Amino acid sequence: MKILITGTDGYIGCIVAPLLLREGFDLVAVDTGYYKTGWLFNGAAQSARTIAKDIRNITKDDLYGCKAVVHLAELSNDPTGQLAPHITHEINHKASIRLATLAKEAGVERFVYMSSCSVYGVANSPDAVTEESGVNPQTAYAECKVLVERDLVELAGDTFSPTFLRNATAFGASPRMRFDIVLNNLAGLAWTTNRIAMVSDGTPWRPLVHALDIAQAIACALEAPRDAVHAEVFNVGDSAQNYRVRDIAEIVGKVFEGCELSFGETGADNRSYRVNFDKIHDRFPTFSCDWDAERGARQLHDVFRRIDMGAEVFEARAFTRLEQLQYLLRTQQIDERFYWTPAPRRTDAQDSGL
């Protein structure tokens, strides 16, 4: 089955692509490469050759012959979404719907969309939220996820089946590492400073899922019978993996021996939700979350030791999305609409070989 997959130079995409190749899918991979300078470690897995292209420039020709689209390429967290909310809407909402519309017109049958549990925002009920619960997005990033789900459902029909994967917050090692997500960040701090000093009291709930388990969920959605996934929403994770942020810090503190922990007095983060993940386990019998926070923290500890990671790597901007995008804007490598600017013309000095 030929698939167009976007976001393969990203944290999750660079793990999903090798898994889908191993499962026998034929991939056309697309990414504009905002974070391409960041590469934490080499692995043995074969990956797809990624075409450097903005999703806003994808044409129908890119999609002919594909049976499915797996769409990951967006400005992918709350801080980057807040950097320029109108651009977040342009890329995350409008370009995603444009991509799906073109896909449908080109005869693509399935569209697996990477949504997020952040659509639940501040949950008003003490119970864990399900796919049927109301959404309550708190940021431009989460709002766009809600809008894409709303508009994509309108495209569903006899020949086109969108599926919405509302992923929990990811964790775990990836060559395209991100240190701006909670468990990875705490693990990096523990390794480089031996200290986790949280400003907040750590009480908000945060469901977690390993990037490799997200990759499994995508494969399950592609392989499931159409009826099981047609216009369906799935929370991706495991009900046993709703953690309070302070639990995550304590788990990391246990794995990174000798790490000092301290917490603040107040709740600095108003996003808090516990999520019920029963549906995905019921509908996809082969799906399981093989990783919990402790196993993920051990994996990170092993990777940091293997590559002898220093603070300069942990703090490198390419591993923290907001910093990398701010840098690309400041140095005018991308313009105000987040398109790459043309490379500067060669100077006379360069032309004369100096």
Ligand X SMILES: NC(=O)c1ccc[n+]([C@@H]2O[C@H](COP(=O)([O-])OP(=O)(O)OC[C@H]3O[C@@H](n4cnc5c(N)ncnc54)[C@H](O)[C@@H]3O)[C@@H](O)[C@H]2O)c1
Residue 328 beta carbon to ligand X: minimum distance, rounded to whole angstroms: 10
Quick check: 47 binds ligand X (CB under 6 A)? no
Q: Which is nearer to ligand X, 73 or 103 (CB)?
A: 73
| Footprint of ligand X on 129-168 (CB under 6 A) | 167
Residue 224 beta carbon to ligand X: minimum distance, rounded to whole angstroms: 19
Q: Which is nearer to ligand X, 104 or 145 (CB)?
A: 145
SS3 of 232-259: EEEEECCHHHEEEHHHHHHHHHHHCCCC
Alpha-carbon span 164 to 283, nearest angstrom: 14
Judged by CB under 6 A, which of 40, 73, 119, 280 binds ligand X? 73
243: which strand partners? Answer: 206
Judged by CB under 6 A, which of 11, 256, 273, 314 binds ligand X? 11
Instruction: Indicate the helix (H) or strand (E) that contains 3.
Output: strand 2-6
Quick check: 25 binds ligand X (CB under 6 A)? no
| Footprint of ligand X on 164-203 (CB under 6 A) | 167, 169-170, 176, 178, 181
Alpha-carbon span 297 to 292, nearest angstrom: 9
Q: Which is nearer to ligand X, 110 or 346 (CB)?
A: 110
Quick one: tokens of 70? 């797996």
Candidate ranges 66-74, 223-231, 276-284, 311-319; the one touching ligand X (CB under 6 A):
66-74
Nearest to 177, CA basis, from 338, 327, 21, 37:
37
- Those residues whose C-beta lies under 8 Å from the C-beta of residue 68, and which sit 6 or more positions away, are 1, 3, 4, 108, 109, 110, 111, 112, 222
Q: Which is nearer to ligand X, 168 or 189 (CB)?
A: 168
Closest-by-Cβ residue to ligand X is: 10
Pairing of strands 50-52, 26-31: parallel
Q: Residues interacting with ligand X, by CB under 6 A?
A: 7, 9-13, 31-35, 54-56, 72-76, 91, 114, 116, 167, 169-170, 176, 178, 181, 321
